[in-house]
Structure 1
Amino acid sequence: MKEYIGLLAPFAILFILYLSVQNWRNSIKTVLVLVVIEGVLRKWVLPQASQFIYFLKDIVLIGAYLRYYIFSSTEKNFRIKGNSAAETIASVILLLTGWCLLQVFNPSLGSAIIGIFGIRGYLLYIPLIWMLPNLFRSEEELYKFLRSYLLLVIPVGLLAVTQFFSPPSSPLNVYSADLKLDVATFGDGNSTNVRVTGTFSYIAGYAVYAIISFGLLVPLLAFQQSRWWRWATIAELLLIIGTSFMNGSRGLFYSEILFLIGYFGVQLLTNLKTSVPLIKQFTVPIITITVATITWFQSAINSLLFRINSNHDVSSRASGSFIEPFEFMKLKGLDSYGAGATHPAASVLRNILNLPPGETIPVFYESEMGRVVLEIGPIGFFLWYLLRLILIYLLWRTFLKLKRPLLRQLALSAFLIHALQFPNQLVFNHTLLVYYWFLAGFIFLLPRLEQIENWKQQQEFFNGPDTYRPHTSYR
């Protein structure tokens, strides 16, 4: 079977590229869906083609890039020149790109093929940030896409619940066979359950999906929706919170708490007058979700709390992720081991393609910050994290400038997610990479949508008072 897949792969790649080039907007939205269902395809539908499916969303994304940047000349309304924020980001990206390309040919890698694969996590998804301003043409279109996209939470969450109450040997828990039971399971001493992954291949993938969905659902809950969509949003939040306990990730648990503290704290600090009514809107949903979570997910809550109480290395791991890169800088000075040197797939590529071995890295690495230093050196480390800090700052500034409620809350959510994910895996987490650069595009998308809506309101106002709507809700 694998031999046939190898023969058909080139034709499949060309066919997928052809389809994705047809409509770049649909291709970007397809990539966001593929992020969610990729694990289903890899675990249950076509496990023999797991490696090909891993790159499927990249192929679709490249097709969208070809259409947008090369074959289309009429849809690019966003311009970098003249936009100070865009020019700043572009300057750092240009320097980072140049440096990463040098690291592709680092002699320590043994082969440039490893380097080409390695820069994928640094550079491949960045072009999304320039496409997003043209992806949605109105606030209503963005809102309707988000509410429809988040409906995926329901089947994904229900699958996760089923996994939690199924044994580790169940076909639903394929990943647990590849991990040690003490990693793939957890419990409160009385019972042991799997750490759920939903449709994702591994625990970390679902943890990313949960915090992203959580961060997008909270602003929608504050927005005036129809009764059906409001209750759908509450149900989705309930599933995300409940399955977050079932995932067993302490980082996810802390992130959701810090997100809520930041979300409501920033509202109170920046605009007390509007924050009080906003917080009141959350009273009934919070009570509903809290009671339902305690009632239906008590065993998952107990298991996670037991895991938290039995592990006391959280603070040391958090501080270690910031200390580690400076320790690793002593190994090679300004040099490094090359892009992709620490990627788990590097050894697989070497075996499959019979590539020469790279230089042995003489230290144990765990945090992403340390791995970035090992791969692209102190200069690359500085450029990479400078870019990420700039994005956080610009998302904050976007939040402060926006006036329309939904767009403003989405900007705040994107800012909080970027800030919370700063020390976490990004280069080596292909699930987060798509969402990270999608949310980064909010820096340019949300102000543009506000300009469009303000223009519409001006037209409505001048056309007659009966057509004027200061703010609107979408059904």
Structure 2
Amino acid sequence: MNEETLQNRQDYNVRLLTIFFLYVTFNGAVRKWLLTDSLTGNLLLGIQIGFPLIFAVLVRTKPYTRFTFSVLAAYSLLLVIMAFNPLGQSILHGVIGYFLHIGVFLPLLIYFNDRDAFPVERMNRLFFLVILFELLLGTLQFMSPSTSPINKYVRDTTDTGGIAMLYTINRVRITGSFSYLGGMGSLFVFFGFWIWGLRLTKASTLLVGFALICCAVISPMTGSRGLSAFLIILTGCAFISTITDLRNSLALGLLSILIVGVLQFTDLSLVSEAYTGLNERVTNHVADSENETRAFGQIWEIIDFRGNYPWLGTGLGGTYQGAIALMGESIYLKEYGYYEEEPERVILEGGYLLFMVRIFLWLLVFQQSRIPVAFCALLLILHVFYTVTVFNVFTAFYTVMAFMYLDRSYYVRQQNEI
């Protein structure tokens, strides 16, 4: 295909991804502040659940290679078969489960089939505006009482019982433009990848520094230990991968020291108060061993799986709260008992077969990416065991955007070095 055709694909795909990004980031705000009826909210969320197939239909790329088509067709067929598992609660559970499980892999494999058609670095201005908006909104939420309309969730609540709090400092855990905590955390994990990509492409030190400040401020205000850990890991990777760029590394290192110093010694600031609340959460959960459970519990659940159907599971969509609210919960899940982390839920729905297929697909994603092998190994562990890319549709979308951006950044950097 000629250069003009590639340019057309690039322009169209950037516009499409911009629409998707804005929709995912702000549909929660619409659902909790504007169109608050449950029917409209479910419709808006349903559209987001369908993102992978909507993307596949609307995106413009060169024809799929035989390999890409074969992988996507085989995985899709497997999911269709699993959706009709006779142990499942309903066909609706299976249909919703199909969309959830095809999740990140359909968009990413389409991207890798024609990465030149996805210049996501053109969206930097949009990312800057969104992170600035979330910083301002999040700070306002943190300053406001839990009963304020600005801290409303999608579900109605009249007291702090429905709002997540940092109780030791009596502050809300902010949600930004999202309908619940998980969406805000997912977005800022993406911004961690964005910082990594900006470093690779030698973006303005001021822009990188501003993004770091936003993450350093917002992370403790969410009260999320997982988000804080992810941002530390991702920014560490960003520095390590660009350590040979001495001038920018020195400038950014000095800026980071300045940021940490200001946050550490400004005792009256909201940020210092937020870090106090986050530190209390971490400390309290050390005492009750929850931190250790969150770190290693899902690994033991995989090794010593307690379900009665470990190989093929009990049907797709069975553990998804939205499907359960609409059509009830399978008796085969009720006998399993409490479940929370994604790996055990994947095995519950599709058995070890689906779990191993997903690991294979992640390996395929990393094999096709331009990300160095050492970082791929780290990201594989994080996304197999600690990232909810199936049952959190916000995380699924931002994971796709994160890998597109990081892979494109390495790709552009390598092209410039030739």
Do the aligned residues in 2 keep the contact of 1:263 with 1:416 (CA within 8 Å)? no
| Deviation digits for residues 169-226 of structure 1 (CA, Å, limit 9, x no counterpart) | 11111129659749700143xx310111111111111111112112212442565446
| Deviation digits for residues 84-118 of structure 1 (CA, Å, limit 9, x no counterpart) | xxx4x766554433322111111122321210011
**Residue 106 of structure 1 corresponds to which residue in structure 2?**
85
Shift, 1:59, TM fit: 5.6
Do the aligned residues in 1 keep the contact of 2:89 with 2:327 (CA within 8 Å)? no
Cα distance in structure 2, aligned partners of 1:358 and 1:103: 17
User: Which amino acid in the other structure matches residue 141 of structure 2?
Assistant: Q
Instruction: Identify which of 249, 253, 256 aligns with 1:283.
Output: 253
CA gap 1:443/1:394 in 2 versus in 1, 3 angstroms = farther
Identity within the alignment, %:
21
CA gap 1:56/1:92 in 2 versus in 1, 3 angstroms = closer
**Residue 239 of structure 2 corresponds to which residue in structure 1?**
264
Cα distance in structure 2, aligned partners of 1:90 and 1:327: 35
Q: Counterpart of 2:340 in 1: which secondary structure?
A: coil
User: Which amino acid in the other structure matches residue 230 of structure 2?
Assistant: S
Do the aligned residues in 2 keep the contact of 1:350 with 1:357 (CA within 8 Å)? no
**Residue 380 of structure 1 corresponds to which residue in structure 2?**
354
Cα distance in structure 2, aligned partners of 1:306 and 1:167: 20
**Residue 332 of structure 1 corresponds to which residue in structure 2?**
309
**Residue 207 of structure 1 corresponds to which residue in structure 2?**
185
CA gap 1:329/1:377 in 2 versus in 1, 3 angstroms = farther
**Residue 393 of structure 2 corresponds to which residue in structure 1?**
430
Shift, 1:166, TM fit: 0.8
CA gap 1:423/1:99 in 2 versus in 1, 3 angstroms = same
**Mind listing any 5+ residue stretches in structure 1 that lack a counterpart?**
1-21, 69-74, 82-86, 269-273, 402-410, 455-469
Q: Counterpart of 1:372 in 2: which secondary structure?
A: helix
Normalised by the length of structure 1, the TM-score is 0.73
| Deviation digits for residues 131-172 of structure 1 (CA, Å, limit 9, x no counterpart) | 43557658xx54331243232011111111111111111111
**Residue 237 of structure 1 corresponds to which residue in structure 2?**
212
Shift, 1:317, TM fit: 2.5
1:421 matched to 2:374? The reply is: no
Shift, 1:389, TM fit: 3.7
**Mind listing any 5+ residue stretches in structure 2 that lack a counterpart?**
1-10
User: Which amino acid in the other structure matches residue 300 of structure 1?
Assistant: A
Normalised by the length of structure 2, the TM-score is 0.82
CA gap 1:94/1:281 in 2 versus in 1, 3 angstroms = farther
Shift, 1:375, TM fit: 0.3
Instruction: Identify which of 290, 293, 311 aligns with 1:316.
Output: 293
**Residue 80 of structure 1 corresponds to which residue in structure 2?**
65
CA RMSD of aligned residues (A): 3.4
User: Which amino acid in the other structure matches residue 150 of structure 1?
Assistant: F
Cα distance in structure 2, aligned partners of 1:60 and 1:317: 29
Shift, 1:335, TM fit: 3.2
Shift, 1:323, TM fit: 1.3
Cα distance in structure 2, aligned partners of 1:350 and 1:364: 19
Do the aligned residues in 1 keep the contact of 2:220 with 2:228 (CA within 8 Å)? yes
**Residue 299 of structure 1 corresponds to which residue in structure 2?**
273
CA gap 1:400/1:340 in 2 versus in 1, 3 angstroms = closer
Shift, 1:248, TM fit: 0.4
Q: How many residues get paired?
A: 394
**Structure with greater Cα Rg:** 1
The worse-fitting range, judged by mean Cα deviation, of 315-324 and 22-31 is 22-31
**Residue 36 of structure 1 corresponds to which residue in structure 2?**
25
User: Which amino acid in the other structure matches residue 157 of structure 1?
Assistant: L
Cα distance in structure 2, aligned partners of 1:112 and 1:30: 31
1:186 matched to 2:177? The reply is: no
1:364 matched to 2:347? The reply is: no
Shift, 1:37, TM fit: 0.8
Do the aligned residues in 2 keep the contact of 1:238 with 1:292 (CA within 8 Å)? no
Do the aligned residues in 2 keep the contact of 1:338 with 1:375 (CA within 8 Å)? yes
Do the aligned residues in 2 keep the contact of 1:208 with 1:432 (CA within 8 Å)? yes
**Residue 148 of structure 1 corresponds to which residue in structure 2?**
126
Do the aligned residues in 1 keep the contact of 2:312 with 2:351 (CA within 8 Å)? yes
| Deviation digits for residues 249-292 of structure 1 (CA, Å, limit 9, x no counterpart) | 11111222222333434556xxxxx2544521312321342234
Cα distance in structure 2, aligned partners of 1:225 and 1:446: 11
CA gap 1:441/1:222 in 2 versus in 1, 3 angstroms = closer
Shift, 1:370, TM fit: 0.6
Do the aligned residues in 2 keep the contact of 1:336 with 1:376 (CA within 8 Å)? yes
